[in-house]
Structure 1
């Protein structure tokens, strides 16, 4: 399944529960659905969470997030190198977090290690009608 199709499915499933499949998202990363639900007190908005698993040396393709998506990212394990829009690359260790503004371009998202895996939890607050949370550049 292509990443766009996974993310379309996640957006469509908002409020219907947690999906349970994993799929390739980029060159070597794996995106595993974690949570998806409409936010009842904010009509038209949903909360979608995915776990991104990076094998040693793994990376995501450069991508852009939905124009409505505010993203909170938390490094669960390992070390992640991230670059958002025109900001410099930054290295995040397990327990550290960052955010991305709606419509952000994410040209770099990769595991900093060639020998250890890394995991990232990405939580999207997004318009329920957005069909693609992420599109490859």
Structure 2
């Protein structure tokens, strides 16, 4: 399901989260991943809500990967455009305000900036077992 929604408070978090060091890393085309919140869910014992900011420099990408087996994820593009492919589905480009989901056990084969000249960012929100400490596992070569 594709959704377009980005509340003003979320935009404010990202405006405050940028730093010159981050900008330098992103400018090199490397993905930068930053945990921005981690809250246990009081009504769901053993589960937490975690927010991860993923920033891609021009042409940047992340290696193919899987997430914690308990993780349900919704990702929303907050700057630029991101190319994504889940499992054996087609690669799709998502623009600012568009989102996609990953179910527990899904394989994220492509996660990349859709532009070679502009940076991009996405917010990934995980519902995950509180005890899961590794959220992302890159594929083995």
2:119 aligned residue: 117
Contiguous gaps of at least 5 residues in structure 2: 1-21
User: Is 1:105 aligned to residue 107 of structure 2?
Assistant: yes
Partner residue, 1:4: none
Task: Please list every run of at least 4 consecutive aligned residues from structure 1 whose deviation after the TM superposition is greater than 4 angstroms.
Answer: none
TM-score normalised to the size of structure 2? 0.77
Q: How does 1:1-137 map to 2 (within 5 A)?
A: 28-137=30-139
Instruction: Give the Cα–Cα distance (whole angstroms) in 2 for the partners of residues 85 and 132 of structure 1.
Output: 20
Q: Which runs of 5+ in 1 are unaligned?
A: 1-21
More helix by share: 2
**Separation in structure 2 between the aligned mates of residue 64 and residue 77 of structure 1, nearest angstrom:** 23
Q: Rg: which structure is higher? A: 2
Cα RMSD between the aligned structures? 1.6
State how many pairs are aligned.
Answer: 114
Indicate the SS of the match to 1:107: strand
1:97-125 per-residue CA deviation (whole Å, 9 max, x = no partner) reads 11000121111000010000000000000
Q: Distance in 2 between matches of 1:105 and 1:130?
A: 18
